[in-house]
Amino acid sequence: MSKLVPPHGSDTLKPLLLEGKEREEEIKKAQRLKRVPMTSRETGDLIMMGIGAFTPLDGFMGYDDWKSVCEEMKMPSKNGLFWPIPITLSAEQDLADSISIGEEVALWDTETDTLMGTMRVTEKYTIDKEYECKQVFWTTDTKHPGVQKVMAQGPVNLAGPVRVVSESYFPEQFKGIYQRPAEARKIFEERGWSTVAALQLRNPMHNSHAYLAWIAIEVCDGVYIHQLLGKLKPGDIPAEVRVRAIDALVNKYFRKERVVQGGYPLEMRYAGPREALLHGVFRQNYGCSHLIVGRDHAGVGDYYGPFDAQKIFREIPEDALKLRPLCMDWTFYCYKCESMASMKTCPHDEVAVIDENGNYVSGARLIISGTMLRKMLAEGKPVPKEFSKPEVIEILREYYASLEEKPQIEVHSKATGQVNPKS
């Protein structure tokens, strides 16, 4: 009997990935079906359904589920199951018009030209894209990368159950990191863990990340460093570089019996609070009892308050998730405490002043963020040693040195500490 938290809305994982002869037959059948092209976001969602990470979904959502998820974060088709973000598939009008209800179609990843699965179309519907953006992203500003994706969708959504035949390039390109939920659960069970804290990562691991992970290990059996392997917005560090940097830090600065690394194939939506809840849903499917929720979880720019993701966990029904958030305050390095600290522990209010060579001048708190780290590296500036471990900085400097055109990175107020941290 497993001691781990059960999957979301189910006693068991519900993977939709076919294997063996059944997979071979589905691939043959798909050659005769109409092709529906998928974006990288839709492909990632399909793979998550395939490996059981989106348990208990059985396909792309219909109109009633889409509308209810936007409004109330509930799925009528699953007896009101909690779900925070619509999982939908769009198509161009001409293609949608050519597809009959009940017809099977082949799902193709347009970027890799790969057959990913099949779907029996049970519904075709249109949506108010601005309404979805306002509900999910809390904005309709087209500068928001998640809003851009929704507004670029085709005009018709197709719904229906899916059968998945591929995990794309993830198992090979990220061998040793990419994991299915069943694989992660097996590792946790073999270690005898019952409480597991997930650390969501889309950036290389700096000292604030490490500090949060060490705190989680103190209160849970172990920590699951779970990094996103799908697409990011321009200017973010690609997954293969991030994997190397995280490996360098974990292998030297963590007890190996208390940490597991994994990766998942989803694309960032940058939906802030709503995406934090989605992270909670699929981390529960991976076997995690807790999710570390720090400053600006899954956020971008200044669209969300620094702790809105923590607030939303307190607003959902108690029984919405079995997983619980580990809410962490603003963390930083304090030169007066001479250690990592947080707003809850450190009495020194002054922001630290660092000279052009990355050396400490005065003050106390050095706010550490992935955005600021990327900006310093992109501009070739010295990085204070308190920001991240030297092994990590070396890998990142090598990456930025290889770029012919350095990205222009804008630092928002939440990354500098120049806003009210309790807002």
**Does residue 130 fall inside a structural domain?**
yes
Tell me: do 283 and 361 sit in the same domain.
yes
Give pLDDT, residue 232.
80
Give pLDDT, residue 204.
84
User: Tens digit of pLDDT for each residue in 221-249?
Assistant: 999 999 999 888 777 888 889 889 999 99
Give pLDDT, residue 173.
94
Mean pLDDT of the chain: 94
- Residues 18-47: what's their mean pLDDT? 98
Question: What is the dihedral sign for C-alpha 174, 10, 39, 292?
Answer: negative
- Whether the pLDDT of residue 300 is over 60: the answer is yes
- Whether the pLDDT of residue 17 is over 90: the answer is yes
Tell me: do 119 and 182 sit in the same domain.
no
Task: Supply the Cα-derived Rg of the chain in whole angstroms.
Answer: 22
**Does residue 38 fall inside a structural domain?**
yes
SS3 253: helix
**Does residue 15 fall inside a structural domain?**
no
**Residues 6+ positions from 353 with CB-CB distance below 8 Å:** 360, 361, 362, 363
Angle (CA) 140 237 265, round 5°: 75
Looking at 148, 168, 188, the residue that finishes a domain is: 168
- Report the CATH number that the domain containing residue 384 is assigned in CATH: 3.40.50.620
Tell me: do 239 and 359 sit in the same domain.
yes
For the chain, report the end-to-end CA distance as a whole number of angstroms.
43
- Residues 57-69: what's their mean pLDDT? 98
**Does residue 357 fall inside a structural domain?**
yes
Question: Which of the residues are catalytic?
Answer: 202-203
Tell me: do 226 and 349 sit in the same domain.
yes
Tell me: do 136 and 238 sit in the same domain.
no
**Does residue 9 fall inside a structural domain?**
no
| Residue 104 CB burial class (10 angstroms; 0-12, 13-18, ≥19) | middle
- Report the CATH number that the domain containing residue 160 is assigned in CATH: 3.10.400.10
Read off the amino acid at residue 129: K
pTM over 0.85: yes
Q: How many domains does the chain have?
A: 2
Query: What range does the domain containing 246 cover?
Result: 178-264+270-423
Looking at 112, 147, 168, the residue that finishes a domain is: 168
Tell me: do 221 and 368 sit in the same domain.
yes
Instruction: Indicate the pLDDT class of residue 419, thresholds 50, 70 and 90.
Output: very low
| Paired tokens of 18 | 């076919």
Tokens 């979301």 belong to which residue? 8
| Paired tokens of 90 | 């769009």
- Whether the pLDDT of residue 416 is over 60: the answer is no
Tell me: do 199 and 161 sit in the same domain.
no
**Does residue 154 fall inside a structural domain?**
yes
User: Tens digit of pLDDT for each residue in 356-408?
Assistant: 888 999 999 998 888 888 888 888 899 999 999 999 999 999 999 999 888 87
Give pLDDT, residue 90.
98
Distances in Å between the alpha carbon of 347 and those of 44, 53, 350, 361, 423?
44, 42, 9, 19, 19
| Paired tokens of 358 | 């990355």
**Does residue 1 fall inside a structural domain?**
no
Tell me: do 305 and 415 sit in the same domain.
yes
Give pLDDT, residue 407.
82
**Does residue 13 fall inside a structural domain?**
no
The closest of 349, 343, 384 to 363, measured between CA atoms, is 349
